Structure 1
Amino acid sequence: MKKHTLIAALSGCMLSLTACTAKVQEPAVTAFEAGRIKADMAFLADDMLEGRKVASEGHELAARYVAAAYARAGLKPVGDDGSYFQQVPFVKASLVRENTSVTLTANGKNETLTFADDYQMRGSSAHPKVDVAGDLVFAGFGVHAPTLGHDDLEGLDVKGKIVVLIADAPKGFHSEVRAYQRSNAVKGKELAKRGAVAMVTIRTPAENARFGYDRYLEFINDPSFDWVRPEGSGEAQGLPSLLLSPAMQKRLFAAAGVDLDPILAAVDAGTDKVAPVDLGLHLAIKAESKASDPVTSPNVLGLLEGSDPELAHEVVVMSAHLDHKGVKEDEGEGRKVYNGALDNAAGISTLLEVARVWKESGLRPRRSVLFAAVTAEEEGLQGSDYLAHFPPAGYQMVANVNLDMPILLFDFADVNALGGERSDLGPIVEAAVAKAGLALSPDPLPNEGRFTRSDQFRFVQRGVPAVALKVGISPAVDGADSAALTDTFMKNIYHKPSDTMDQPIHFDAAAKFARVNWLIANEIANRDMAPQWNAGDYFGGVFEKQD
């Protein structure tokens, strides 16, 4: 630049210091472009990618698309061997139906249960050969949480037995704690330590109305995915488990002389106390899973390097899951692609827009920001779990901002900050939301347990404070019935082939969503202190900072 040109530019800043400072501190609102988000979503949700199933060609193509966007945004590749790809090793396990049977013994008579009609179970690489039998004991919720004043297993002998559990936890728990405690993985690990040999889960009418038994059947033939733990990792495994149909669970309790209906009605009504029952029945479970050779599927990792030499080794992880449900061949209905436009092409496209704007703004935060398009969220948060265990060498994760399935069907006026109240991320989120001209509202769907059901929770389990914004359902800016649109999406479109670009997606809302997430991540990356759990927070105590 010539000397007189440089002087003129500096003079312009001196005459309009406020404007120059604003440009340095924050990109203009218009920097977040709806059209770019739309273009990225259109590609990622195209039939050509065949639903971005883990370890599929479509997912691989999507991963390469994201890597190219990272390169354009000037992000440093921090995957394997100097690439953008952190390859996650998986084993797929498919249930061998012909070698799977469940036999109930009641009053001296044996009954062979029918797969799908009476029960369902998935293949498991952790339990490739199951051959167990035991007396059935009903343990209510099966929740062991003495620090919360609740222990369904106290005084209950489960050694050598098969435990029947309600697929829930007490409503008196905080909604996010309840979602964690209702997990089969959490319950199974505790029961395994006590010598139980298997689990049988049952569901209440309210739970079946929310997400019915038939919805689970849609994916009954899908293999399970598990990332391959290093030998000697010592991570506890859970138990073999099966889910009973509503009709079968009622028949089972009737065979024991127990009326199940009032028990489940009391749970739906809010009771926290469910008495255990020795059912006087016997169950035998045989199951075989065929495991594949290890396959890989990548997390796509790009780093915006921090500017502060003292803080650049600390990273704020911005994550979104890249995978979806793939393709299914339904008898009589033909081939269906599960495109996953809102779940989660929308989250990935938001992530890419934040990366692009950060580059074009010329800003460099003090801490580094790791952009992570993770695999296998739909398979149990597997890709984020791997990343949380194996972050890029030399970097310490200090916070996670996760972008998963923003329901962008209207111009939203409020957001929900899942997990925000658990750490000092809360005030950061509150300030960012206000700056974006939005309201911050409580989670309107507390029974969904959304904080524990997406990738942010894998970072929480490694002791890292996290937050995930969800589009709220307050009256929409554009007059749309936001609550009805959200409800319709969750009931009729979520995890269905209809989650496509043909929906009336509001792309200006997508740009707004990108901006507010940028505001949050930027503030975390520039503050003096790394985020801390609030004193006495449940998850902060359960998952102390991991090495």
Structure 2
Amino acid sequence: MRRIATILLAATAVPAAAQTAAPAPVIRPEEMRAHVAFLADDLLEGRDAGTRGYDIAAKYVASRFDGFGLKPGGDAGGWYQSIAFQKARLDPTKPAALTIGGRRFDNGGDVAILPDGRFQDQRLSADAVFVGYGIDAAAQGFDDYRGLDVRGKFVVVLPGVPTGTPSEIGASLSAEKAKMAERRGAIGILTLPTPTMLKQFPWERARASVGAARQRVVEPDGTVRLPAPGIKASAYVHGPAADALFAGSGTTPAKVFAAAAKKNARPRGFALVPALELAQSSLVEKSRSPNVVGVLPGSDPKLRDEYVLLTAHLDHNGVNPAAKGEDKVFNGAMDNAAGVATMLEAARAFVASGQAPRRSVMFVALTSEEDGLLGSDYLARHPAVPRGASVVADVNLDMPVLLYKLDDVVAFGAEHSTVGEAVARAAARTGIALSPDFMPEENVFVRSDHYSFVKQGVPSVMLATGSKNDGARIFKEFLGKTYHTPADQPSLPFDWVSAAKFATVNYEVARDLADAPERPRWYVGSPFGEQFAKDQPKAVRPK
């Protein structure tokens, strides 16, 4: 990540208002530990959005905001921005299945079917077409649908993007696959987990999640928000079911995976032989769950209507009776009680500094991230700011893996806007190095809440714990063994000193953004700035 190093050198040589600010107040490891211990306790039952456990967690965050002296930033002068949801769950009395060429594969075996609240009882029959990675973006050099007719059919896709694709471009493209398929007329998407994907998310865990609900936002006008309404069914297909899809095609999934594993390989699509029928029945319930919003008003009359956000998702995956082992509670200590603790301690530090920020700073514990970034998407489209005010940056805090000594961070998004210069200055002030993304295959940039703000044109960043001190191995091991399992507990060997240090560097980033004389800008040539903020003024990237 040579550009990050270049930004660091340039930023440390250029004066900025934030560089003259008072030193950050001390953030205590014990405070970080206390937040995580409460939020990830079994009594909160995994903090699933819309449940009593989440509501208790939200009340805890609101009480901390109140104790720090923040102002309520939610609905009607309160702490909460309430969001309506529709939750769909597969009906266990009517087993879902995917039939491929007359052979039935039950849900939870070699297929994992996602519920859809629009269809109480659904039987969807259609042919299928393999479309490689399923990317339709000619401007970026991807044309996976070329010569293929997928109208009224299922598309069968590989997850992610070709090996060798720059991670930030790949992340954006991956997030748009459903819309791309919809534009081409497809009615369903079947994803084939690759060996690389299965190393990070074993099929056993996918099978264990088949009973999980699928949540959607209900807008204030009563409509359900859908990313691609034309897609009527989605599922993951593995093992013998994947083999059945390719029967009669002259190739196999194993051969496709092997070809796709080569750098820059782009498997060409073709029509598949077997006819498909997907059957599922969904039960639908309605709920509400809030974002928790606290505000520290800005002191500069010219800048206080510009808001810097610090966000962290408060929800996790609740209780799953089908989870393997005796423990059924998904406590989410690292994901994301640790991120919420970081946000809370940054808020405390802002107030304790005794120096009001020039811009207003908004601290938000977000709901329903685990359901598809729903709480942040709602906030990004319905900003909790006064009329005439605007959100100028988001610093997102999601799952720092606090299991090793922190000497470096990875700053996702730092290369795309002047937010990266604030990150570089903050890292220099706290003695933290900046390291390159050591897991580009994870497409982190589109998998957490900052991306909701990026899609609204807001320059954003998310810091992750870095690769030094064996961090890359420990982080990846956490993803493979502990992430989204009941093992993500407060009893993990947290390095609380490093947790406090991580909170400090994030505070410094937000402080820099809040006090800088100019609002953040996308860099000229950033694919995200060009896609989502075409009409905004751009900055020239430091050389």
Q: Secondary structure at the match of 1:164?
A: strand
1:234 shift after superposition: 9.1
Question: What amino acid maps onto 1:248 in structure 2?
Answer: A
Partner in structure 1 of residue 427 of structure 2: 433
Alpha-carbon distance change, 133 to 422 in structure 1, aligned in 2, over 3 angstroms: same
After TM superposition, the structure 1 stretch with the greater mean CA deviation from structure 2, 413-422 or 387-396, is 387-396
Preserved contact between residue 19 and residue 512 of structure 2 (Cα < 8 Å): no
Q: Determine if the alignment matches structure 1 residue 178 to structure 2 residue 170.
A: yes
1:154 deviates by 2.3
Task: Judge which range, 312-321 or 354-363, deviates more.
Answer: 354-363
Report the residue type matching 2:252 in the other structure: D
Query: Which residue number corresponds to residue 12 of structure 1?
Result: none
The 1:256–1:235 alpha-carbon spacing in structure 2 relative to 1, beyond 3 Å, is: closer
Per-residue deviation, 1:93: 0.2
SS across alignment from 1:59: helix
Confirm or deny that 1:256 pairs with 2:249. Answer: yes
Provide, for residues 461-519 of structure 1, a one-character-per-residue CA deviation record: whole Å limited to 9, x for no partner. Answer: 111110000110212xxxxx434432332222111211112111111111111111111
Q: 2:68 aligns with which of 65, 73, 79?
A: 73
Distance 2:458 2:95 in 1: 42
1:370 aligns with 2:362: yes
CA contact (8 A) 1:338 1:495 kept: yes
Q: Which amino acid aligns with 1:518?
A: Y
Partner of 1:270: 263
The question of 1:283 aligning with 2:276 is answered: yes
Q: Alpha-carbon deviations, 1:21-77, whole Å to 9, x = none?
A: 999922455x21111111111111111111111111111011000001001111110
Residue 103 of structure 1, aligned match among 99, 102, 106: 99
Q: Select the structure of larger CA radius of gyration.
A: 1
- Gap runs ≥5 in structure 2: 1-16, 537-543
The CA distance in 2 between the partners of 1:103 and 1:236, in whole Å, is: 24
State the match for 1:492 in structure 2. Answer: 481
**1:204/1:268 contact within 8 Å kept:** no
CA–CA separation in structure 1 for the residues paired with 2:276 and 2:314: 40
Query: Is residue 190 of structure 1 aligned with residue 180 of structure 2?
Result: yes
- The answer on whether the counterparts of 2:245 and 2:272 sit within 8 Å (CA) in structure 1 is no
Amino acid at match of 1:273: R
AA of the residue aligned to 1:25? A
SS at match of 1:284: strand
Which consecutive unaligned segments of at least 5 residues does structure 1 have? 1-20, 476-480
Measured in 2, the distance between the counterparts of 1:484 and 1:195 equals: 42
Report the alpha carbon displacement of residue 335 of structure 1 after superposing the two structures with TM: 4.6
SS in 2 for 1:50: helix
Change (3 A) 1:537 1:23: closer
Deviation at 1:235, TM superposition (A): 6.4
Matched, 1:516 2:509: no
Letter in 1 for 2:263: G
- Aligned equivalent of 2:34: 39
Higher mean C-alpha deviation, range 171-180 or range 366-375: 171-180
In 2, Cα distance between equivalents of 1:101 and 1:209: 25
- Are the aligned partners of 1:316 and 1:369 in contact in 2 as well (CA < 8 Å)? yes
Q: Residue 229 of structure 2 aligns to a residue in which SS?
A: coil
Once residues 509 and 234 of structure 1 are traced to their aligned partners in structure 2, the CA distance between those partners, rounded to angstroms, is 40
Q: Aligned equivalents of 2:185 and 2:154: distance in 1?
A: 10
Q: Secondary structure at the match of 2:272?
A: strand
Query: Which structure exhibits the higher relative contact order, with contacts defined as CA atoms closer than 8 Å and separated by 6 or more residues?
Result: 2
Deviations 1:140-170 (A, max 9, x none): 1110011111111123211122211112222
Report the equivalent of 2:155: 163
Which residue type is aligned with residue 300 of structure 2? D
**Secondary structure in structure 2 of the residue aligned to 1:400:** strand
Task: For 1:91-240, list aligned pairs within 5 A.
Answer: 91-97=86-92, 98=94, 100-105=96-101, 110-126=102-118, 128-183=120-175, 186-229=176-219, 230=221, 236-239=228-231, 240=233
SS at match of 1:345: helix
Query: Is the CA contact (8 Å cut-off) linking 2:96 and 2:113 kept in structure 1?
Result: no
**CA-CA distance at 1:267 after TM superposition:** 0.8
> Which residue in the other structure is 1:6 paired with?
none
| Length, aligned pairs only | 514
2:46 aligned to which of 47, 51, 67: 51
SS of 1:540's equivalent? helix
CA distance in structure 2 between the partners assigned to 1:102 and 1:22 by the alignment: 57
Moved more, 57-66 or 90-99: 90-99
When normalised by structure 1's length, the TM-score is 0.89
In structure 1, C-alpha distance between the alignment counterparts of 2:260 and 2:95, rounded to whole Å: 36
8 A contact 1:95–1:288 mirrored in 2: yes
CA drift at 1:280 = 2.4
Alpha-carbon distance between aligned partners in 1 of 2:230 and 2:394, rounded to the nearest angstrom: 27
| Contact residue 85 and residue 300 of structure 1 kept, 8 A | yes
Q: Distance in 2 between matches of 1:465 and 1:456?
A: 9
Which of residues 308, 314, 325 is equivalent to 1:316? 308
- Asked if the contact 1:256/1:281 (under 8 Å) is kept, the reply is no
Deviations, residues 206-246 of structure 1 (Å, cap 9, x unaligned) = 22223222221222111111111345789642511111112
Any conservation in 2 of the 1:104–1:112 contact (CA below 8 Å)?
Answer: yes
Aligned partner letter, 2:396: N
Structure 2 partner of 1:536: 525
Matched-pair contact (CA < 8 Å) for 1:128–1:290: yes
Alpha-carbon distance between aligned partners in 2 of 1:56 and 1:193, rounded to the nearest angstrom: 36
Equivalent residue for 1:327, pick from 300, 319, 322? 319
User: 1:128 offset after TM fit, Å?
Assistant: 4.9
Give the conservation status (yes or no) of the 8 Å contact 1:462–1:545: no
Structure 1 counterpart of 2:240, from 247, 263, 275? 247
Residue 411 (1) aligns with residue 405 (2): yes
Q: 1:522 to 1:159 in 2, by over 3 A?
A: same
- Following the alignment from structure 1 to structure 2, what is the Cα–Cα distance between the partners of residues 33 and 274? 52
CA contact (8 A) 2:40 2:332 kept: yes
CA distance in 2, matches of 1:127, 1:520: 45
CA RMSD of aligned residues (A): 2.2
TM-score normalised by length of structure 2: 0.90
> 1:300 is matched with which residue?
292
1:254 alignment partner, SS class: coil
Cα 1:61/1:24, change in 2 over 3 Å? farther
